[in-house]
C-alpha cells in the first residue's frame, strides 16, 4: 500500500505494517487562529497516517484502522456481504471494496450525503429512524456477513455527554448487526474507554462466540477510542 511496507500475516494474507514516519512540520500560530487550531493543524501535518492516506487515495486516515484490523483478523474476504454504518466520507468503504476484490457486496450507509465509491452501494439513511433501519434490512433479505461501524458524534466538549452519545451509536450498530447478520457473521464497532461499554460487551458475548476489544496502531494513542470485535454470530435458534 502506498508508502508502506507489506508483509504476510498468519493466514498468508498481505498485511499493512505501520505507516512511515514523516519529517516534522512546524506550524506557527497565525493571527486570528486559536492555539487549539494550531495544535490540530500541526498534528495533521505530522501524522504519517494522514500522509499515507493521501498517497493511497483514501478519503480518511481512518481507512488504515480498518486495514490493520483486517490484516490481523481476516474479516473482509471476497464474496462477503458487508454493511458499513456511518460510512462518510468513505475511507472504510474503500478498504472494504478493495479487500473484496470485486466479489461480494458493500453497502455504505450514512445520514449525511456521501460521494459514490466505485464498487459500493451508498444509502442515505438515518439509523436512529426505525423506518430507515427496516429499509436497510430489506436491502439484505438473505443477511450479511460483516457489519462495520466507525460512527462517532461531533464532540460537544462535555466528556460525560459525549461518552453516552457515542456509546448509544455503538449500541445501534450492535442492534443492527443482530438484525442483519448471518450465522457466523462479525461486528466491528467503535466505542470509547469509560463510555459504558461493559453492558454491551456482556450482551454481545451472549450472541457471538468471540468478543474482544482492539486498538489498531493507526488509532492515536491519546484517543480513548477502541473497537469492539464480535465474531461468530449465533442465530436466535442457536442461543
- d(Cα 145, Cα 167) in Å, to the nearest integer? 23
- d(Cα 173, Cα 188) in Å, to the nearest integer? 9
- d(Cα 92, Cα 59) in Å, to the nearest integer? 9
Residues 1-19: pLDDT tens digits? 333 333 344 444 544 544 5
> Is residue 74 predicted with pLDDT exceeding 70?
yes
Q: Where are the domains positioned within the chain? A: 6-56, 63-238
User: What is the pLDDT averaged over residues 97-112?
Assistant: 97
- d(Cα 67, Cα 188) in Å, to the nearest integer? 12
CB distance 147 to 177 below 8 Å: yes
With a CB cutoff of 8 Å and minimum separation 6, the contacts of 98 are none
Model confidence, pTM: 0.80
CATH class of 63-238: alpha beta
List helix spans (H) across 9-152: 35-45, 48-56, 63-73, 91-100, 130-139
Residues 15-42: pLDDT tens digits? 454 454 554 545 445 455 454 444 434 4
Task: State yes or no: is 34 an active-site residue.
Answer: no
Which of 31, 65, 190, 205 is the catalytic position? 190
Q: Residue 144: left (phi > 0), alpha (psi -120 to 50), or beta?
A: beta
Q: What is the pLDDT of residue 56?
A: 78
Q: What is the pLDDT of residue 61?
A: 86
Of 93, 181, 107, 108, nearest in space to 145 by CA:
181
Q: What is the pLDDT of residue 27?
A: 42
- d(Cα 143, Cα 99) in Å, to the nearest integer? 19
Counting Cα atoms < 13 Å in the Cβ hemisphere of 165 gives 11
- The bridge status of strand 144-149 relative to strand 81-85 is parallel
Amino acid at each position: 500500500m502506498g508508502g508502506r511496507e507489506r508483509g504476510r500475516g498468519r493466514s498468508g494474507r498481505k498485511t499493512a505494517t505501520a505507516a512511515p514516519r514523516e519529517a516534522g512540520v512546524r506550524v506557527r500560530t497565525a493571527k486570528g487562529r486559536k492555539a487549539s487550531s494550531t495544535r490540530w493543524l500541526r498534528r495533521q501535518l505530522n501524522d504519517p497516517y494522514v500522509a499515507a492516506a493521501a498517497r493511497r487515495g483514501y478519503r480518511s486516515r481512518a481507512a488504515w484502522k480498518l486495514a490493520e484490523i483486517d490484516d490481523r483478523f481476516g474479516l473482509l474476504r471476497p464474496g462477503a456481504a458487508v454493511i458499513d454504518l456511518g460510512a462518510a466520507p468513505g475511507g472504510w468503504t474503500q478498504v472494504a471494496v478493495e479487500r473484496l476484490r470485486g466479489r461480494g457486496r458493500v453497502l455504505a450507509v450514512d445520514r449525511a450525503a456521501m460521494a459514490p465509491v466505485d464498487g459500493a452501494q451508498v444509502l442515505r439513511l438515518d439509523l436512529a429512524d426505525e423506518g430507515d433501519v427496516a429499509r436497510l434490512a430489506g436491502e439484505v433479505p438473505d443477511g450479511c456477513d460483516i457489519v462495520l461501524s466507525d460512527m462517532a458524534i461531533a464532540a460537544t466538549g462535555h466528556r460525560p455527554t459525549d461518552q453516552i452519545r457515542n456509546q448509544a451509536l455503538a449500541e445501534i450498530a450492535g442492534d443492527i448487526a443482530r438484525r442483519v447478520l448471518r450465522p457466523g457473521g462479525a461486528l466491528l464497532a467503535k466505542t470509547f474507554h469509560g463510555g459504558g461499554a461493559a453492558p454491551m460487551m456482556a450482551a454481545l458475548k451472549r450472541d457471538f462466540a468471540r468478543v474482544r476489544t482492539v486498538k489498531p496502531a493507526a488509532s492515536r494513542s491519546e484517543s480513548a477510542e477502541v473497537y469492539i470485535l464480535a465474531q461468530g454470530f449465533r442465530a436466535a435458534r442457536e442461543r
